[in-house]
Amino acid sequence: MKKRFSLIITMAACFSMLLGGCGKKLTVEDAPAYVQSALDACYKGEFEAYMEFTKSTEEEAKELYESGLDANMEASGITDVNVSQELQDQYRQLFAGLLGISKYTVGEAKEDGEGFTVDVSVEPFIMFDTLQDDLIAAMSNSGLTEEATADEINSFVYQKMYELMSAKLNDPTYGDPQTVTVHIQPDEDGVQTINEDDLVEIDTVMYASML
């Protein structure tokens, strides 16, 4: 076939909306718990500790998490093509599942001027290393012809990608832990806030094999 199709999925886009600053002045003892609460809110959908630190409501915290899933759906491109609502719903659940099995360990905090640094050990997914090759192989054996419409190609590709990712989700494997240093500093209003770029770096390490 002459047409080529690539699918790039970006995970944990929750961080681009991020997580407001901490509602109380942090100490070196509770800075790691603040980082943990931020990660758990975005990846695990666990909001209790995050709500306590940021003085946000459960509704606000859940909206943040759902907004992250919305962004993942948009980044995958599935909302822009003609596929079934059932498949779109399956993708949303898939993304939630992927976020939920993320592995990270938050270390101790160190004072850094007016703020802190906290090292986070991240275990990257490696089960997606062959995902693109697997998809190309499936396309080669799809039976689609030169006359296949864009809708037919999209439906096949997104369905097959869902099947491939779901199978890998059921048997996740992880690479060697990598350390990302997270910085917490006061913003222009003096509110202690996690550096968004550091959280994006965690995300990049976690899902490098999918980018």
The pairing of beta strand 115-123 with beta strand 103-112? antiparallel
Q: Which residue has the tokens 């802190």?
A: 116
If you write DSSP's letter for every residue of the chain in order, what string do you get? ------------GGGGG--PPPSS---TTTHHHHHHHHHIIIII---HHHHHHHT--HHHHHHHHHHHHHHHHHHHTGGGS---HHHHHHHHHHHHHHHHT-EEEEEEEEEETTEEEEEEEEE-B-TTTTHHHHHHHHHHTS---TT--HHHHHHHHHHHHHHHHHHHHTS--B---EEEEEEEEE-TTS-EEE-HHHHHHHHHHHTGGG-
- Is pLDDT at 14 greater than 70 in this prediction? no
Q: pTM for this structure?
A: 0.85
Candidate ranges 20-29, 158-167, 193-202; pick with highest mean pLDDT: 158-167
Q: What average pLDDT does range 22-40 have in this prediction?
A: 89
Contact 27, 198 (CB under 8 A): no
Contact 36, 48 (CB under 8 A): no
Amino acid at 125: F
Confidence of residue 207 (pLDDT cuts 50, 70, 90): confident
> Which tens digits make up the pLDDT trace of 138-181?
988 888 888 889 899 889 999 999 999 999 988 899 999 999 99
Residue 12: its pLDDT value, please? 53
Contact 119, 104 (CB under 8 A): no
Residue 189: its pLDDT value, please? 81
Long-range contacts of range 170-175, CB-CB < 8 Å, 24 or more positions apart?
171/127, 172/101, 172/125, 172/127, 173/125, 173/126, 173/127, 174/103, 174/123, 174/124, 174/125, 174/126, 175/123, 175/124, 175/125, 175/126
Q: Which residue has the tokens 């419409």?
A: 149
Phi and psi at 101, nearest 5°, equal -100, 15
- Is pLDDT at 126 greater than 90 in this prediction? yes
* HEC profile of 133-164: HHHHHHHHCCCCCCCCCHHHHHHHHHHHHHHH
- Is pLDDT at 131 greater than 70 in this prediction? yes
